[in-house]
Structure 1
Amino acid sequence: AALVEMARVLQPGGRLAIMVPTAGRAAQLWRKLPNIGANLFGEDELGDILEDHGFVSVRTKSFGTMQWVRGKRG
């Protein structure tokens, strides 16, 4: 829902940058834990979601358990 709203309010060509936590190397462990309401994204998952919402020039970089994702509204 948040990404839909971000895409709605950005003008065409507007840029979006997000930094989110990722499961990193502990991904398999996180998947075994009960759902605590947090979403830890896989390696390219958030970038794929941005592209699905019409963003272009999407780039992702991971830094340990943090991921930087940027894109431009198409």
Structure 2
Amino acid sequence: VQNTVQDLAVYTKGTDTDHYLVVARVSLQVGEGIDSVYTQVYQVTVAPGEPYIIKNIASLGSIAPFELE
């Protein structure tokens, strides 16, 4: 099993520096199979101060592309 993060974006809401939305584009491959690429979305809360310490992380789900014929 090979799991690779291809892209990562972090979003915040204005001046609120405790809550973030993290969007990761991930590639998953099992053995010699075809790569599955999907986007995973997380809601992250960090403790105040530095260094940033994650207090809570929740998966909001994933988005997988599909072909419509």
Length-normalised TM-score, structure 1: 0.25
Higher relative contact order (CA 8 A, sep 6+): 1
Larger radius of gyration: 2
Length-normalised TM-score, structure 2: 0.26
